[in-house]
Amino acid sequence: GENVEQHPSTLSVQEGDSAVIKCTYSDSASNYFPWYKQELGKGPQLIIDIRSNVGEKKDQRIAVTLNKTAKHFSLHITETQPEDSAVYFCAALGGNTPLVFGKGTRLSVIA
């Protein structure tokens, strides 16, 4: 089945700097790659996603890139703000299996 690896597990950045989180997946049949943000005491919430027919997608300060050949995808957050502090999960969907999540990255934005 699908396996998703996510790095780093923790990330601290200064406010205004960029943050990058990277994920790899194992199943070449996977075709949908969402990113979820989990704030303290809440459930994960979708923030951006990308499908396998697209290489990059941007939404204001966040962007996701996908390299199908290398089977990796990344989340980029620019001009980080304290409210970006949260746990971020990447995930992959392929075939008939539900979303498989990475282990998460705890992002801390230091003011």
Partner 1 sequence: DSGVTQTPKHLITATGQRVTLRCSPRSGDLSVYWYQQSLDQGLQFLIQYYNGEERAKGNILERFSAQQFPDLHSELNLSSLELGDSALYFCASSVGLTTGELFFGEGSRLTVL
Interaction between residue 62 and partner 1 (CB under 8 A): no
Q: Could you give the dihedral angle defined by the CA atoms of residues 51, 56, 60 and 61, in that order, rounded to the nearest 10 degrees?
A: 110
Could you tell me which stretch among 20-28, 61-69, 73-81, 100-108 binds partner 1 (CB under 8 A)?
Answer: 100-108
- Residues 17-46 touching partner 1, rule: CB under 8 A, are 32, 34, 36, 41-46
CB of 101 to partner 1, least distance (A): 4
Interaction between residue 53 and partner 1 (CB under 8 A): no
Q: How far is CA 64 from CA 1, 21, 24, 55, 110, in A?
A: 24, 10, 13, 8, 23
Residue ranges that bind partner 1, judged by CB under 8 A: 6, 9, 32, 34, 36, 41-46, 49, 89, 93, 96-104
